[in-house]
Amino acid sequence: MSYLTTVERNVAADLLTQGYIKAAKSFSLMAKQEITIKPTSIEISKDDLKVIKSIKGDDELILITTSIIGELGGKSYLIFNEQESRAVHEACMPHTEDEYARTMESEAILKELDNILSAAVITEFSNYLDTMIFGDVPILSRSNQAAVKNKIINDFNGDGSDSGYFMIANTEFEFQNNTHLKPQFIWKLAEDFMDKIKLVS
């Protein structure tokens, strides 16, 4: 197990930020209004307890998970609460009284948003590290806080590899219509992923 230097941490955080900037442009086209996406804080940690404490405190959370596939392993977790999900729907879609249709539309938008975000960030890592990695199809689930914590901590721990690093990014979305959201983006990157950053940096 090797820890990252300040320079290496800054490289990882900058790649994440650059991915957000590109994702904002794509999401703006989808939502038909200008949107900015920026991390308000980025923390890189190997401390499971710190990750658990950082996760949103709402009773029910919407979790969109994307696996990184290819030469390096990892997963991204995009976390919304119900209020944020409704706000995304209202910003992107005309209002409908049909609750089921609204839920289906919201979930489709959130998965597409995750797809845009994770793909943009993964592309930044792929280009910088000169490594073939891709994002798999996003999976959306609604869970209580305890289940979300358990999943993030225990995902791919049983494959014999080190659990790796967490990148905890508290994020702000600002829509042209003055909607402000603060979803959470957590990346879990296998040890060899961060070793590659150390090597290239």
What pLDDT, in 10s, does the model give residues 123-143?
999 999 999 999 999 999 999
pLDDT in tens, 64-123: 999 999 999 899 999 999 998 988 888 888 888 888 898 899 999 999 999 999 999 999
User: Which pLDDT score, from 0 to 100, does residue 42 have?
Assistant: 85
Cα separation, 73 vs 191, in Å, equals 9
Residue 153 CB-density burial (10 A; 0-12 exposed, 13-18 middle, 19+ buried)? middle
- Alpha helix ranges (H) inside 32-170: 48-54, 82-92, 99-129, 145-154
pLDDT value at 181 more than 90: no
Residue 40 CB-density burial (10 A; 0-12 exposed, 13-18 middle, 19+ buried)? exposed
Q: Quickly tell me which residue has 């080190």 as its tokens.
A: 162
pLDDT value at 162 more than 70: no
Q: Which of 18, 115, 132 has its CA nearest to residue 76?
A: 115
User: Which pLDDT score, from 0 to 100, does residue 157 have?
Assistant: 63
Q: Per the structure block, which two tokens stand in for 191? A: 């040890």
User: Which pLDDT score, from 0 to 100, does residue 178 have?
Assistant: 80
Please, are residues 116 and 23 in contact by the beta-carbon 8 Å criterion?
Answer: yes
Find the mean pLDDT for residues 172-180. 83
Contacts (Cβ under 8 Å, ≥6 apart) of 7? 201
User: Which pLDDT score, from 0 to 100, does residue 161 have?
Assistant: 47
Q: Per the structure block, which two tokens stand in for 52? A: 């658990």
Cα separation, 122 vs 68, in Å, equals 8
pTM: 0.88
